[in-house]
């Protein structure tokens, strides 16, 4: 496998040296459920006639659970990342790469601790089995993708999709709880370094692949992309019920067919799809 860009990793590690521990830096005491946790246009039911009939309390509670869903996705993706990257730690690695991996592991562990603390601090009910990772993507994330282009492609997708959403939330500070905006900001700052590193590794791996081998990545890429996007932007039926709506399955089906939400999701994904197209790949949802 082509060696990593050590100058880039050295620079990224230097930028990570002053560690911002989310548990110490975030204003946890301020976190409560009195306001919206997401801007309303981000909600999966927004735009439907039925949404307009919901009480302000239910709309707010839905925003809490839709952000809890985002955090559950984060915990899942970060768990897969922590497992895969920790297995790559090896005495044979260039020291610069080894050091960068340790920074990434520290930062991702911090994000997962941040999500767990936010869920606990919110006081929101979240039964242990309320959220489940999509099976095929979960298997792929844990086992199927070894090192090389497929591994780095999965990393880029798993980091870029949530990152674009976090950037959107940050861009609407008046519409979200300040602690939630802080959580998204802290994540975006760390993720910029992780994405830069993963993209550089992906680019190096793709340069070594002839066109037909690049094309062979497309089915796995699209499967992963579809499953991550679905689970990220469409909460489980149970979450609608936890938010105070009856018949969660019905509301989830309504959300899945909500043209306003589909348009919102397409807008958030556009930069990720453009980036993948720029690599000569053919992303399709």
Contact footprint for Fe ion (CB under 5 A): 108, 111, 159, 191, 194
* Least distance (Å) between residue 15 CB and Fe ion: 14
30 vs 26: CA distance, rounded Å: 9
* Least distance (Å) between residue 114 CB and Fe ion: 9
Q: Which is nearer to Fe ion, 39 or 74 (CB)?
A: 74
* Least distance (Å) between residue 46 CB and Fe ion: 26
Q: Which is nearer to Fe ion, 5 or 78 (CB)?
A: 78
* Least distance (Å) between residue 187 CB and Fe ion: 6
119 vs 33: CA distance, rounded Å: 11
Contact 110, 82 (CB under 8 A): no
Paired tokens of 233? 């932007």
Q: How far is CA 20 from CA 35, 106, 113, 128, 229, in A?
A: 26, 10, 13, 29, 28
Q: Which is nearer to Fe ion, 97 or 108 (CB)?
A: 108
Contact 239, 248 (CB under 8 A): yes
Q: Which is nearer to Fe ion, 109 or 216 (CB)?
A: 109
CB atoms within 10 A of CB 6: 13
* Least distance (Å) between residue 58 CB and Fe ion: 30
Q: Which is nearer to Fe ion, 16 or 122 (CB)?
A: 16
The phi, psi pair for 181, rounded to 5°, reads -60, -40
């Amino acid at each position: 496998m082509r060696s990593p860009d050590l100058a880039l990793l050295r620079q990224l590690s230097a930028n990570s040296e002053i560690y911002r521990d989310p548990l110490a830096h975030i204003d946890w005491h301020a976190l409560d459920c009195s306001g919206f946790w997401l801007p309303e246009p981000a909600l999966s039911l927004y735009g439907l006639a039925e949404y307009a009939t919901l009480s302000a309390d239910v709309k707010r509670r839905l925003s809490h659970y839709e952000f809890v869903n985002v955090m559950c996705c984060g915990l899942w993706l970060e768990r897969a990342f922590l497992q895969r990257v920790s297995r790559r730690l090896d005495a044979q690695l260039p020291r610069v790469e080894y050091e960068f991996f340790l920074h990434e592991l520290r930062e991702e562990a911090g994000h997962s601790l941040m999500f767990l603390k936010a869920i606990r601090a919110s006081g929101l009910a979240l039964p242990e089995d309320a959220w489940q990772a999509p099976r095929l993507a979960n298997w792929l994330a844990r086992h199927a993708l070894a090192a090389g282009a497929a591994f780095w492609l999965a990393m880029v997708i798993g980091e870029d999709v949530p990152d674009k959403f976090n950037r959107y939330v940050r861009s609407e500070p008046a519409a979200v709880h300040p602690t939630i905006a802080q959580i998204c900001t802290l994540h975006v700052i760390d993720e910029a370094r992780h994405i830069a590193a993963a993209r550089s590794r992906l680019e190096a791996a793709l340069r070594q692949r002839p066109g037909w081998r690049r094309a062979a990545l497309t089915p796995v890429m699209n499967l992963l992309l579809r499953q991550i996007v679905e689970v990220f932007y469409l909460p489980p039926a149970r979450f609608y019920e936890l938010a105070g709506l009856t018949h969660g399955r019905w509301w989830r089906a309504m959300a899945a067919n909500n043209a306003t939400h589909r348009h919102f999701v397409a807008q958030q994904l556009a930069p990720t799809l453009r980036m993948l197209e720029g690599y000569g790949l053919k992303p399709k949802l």
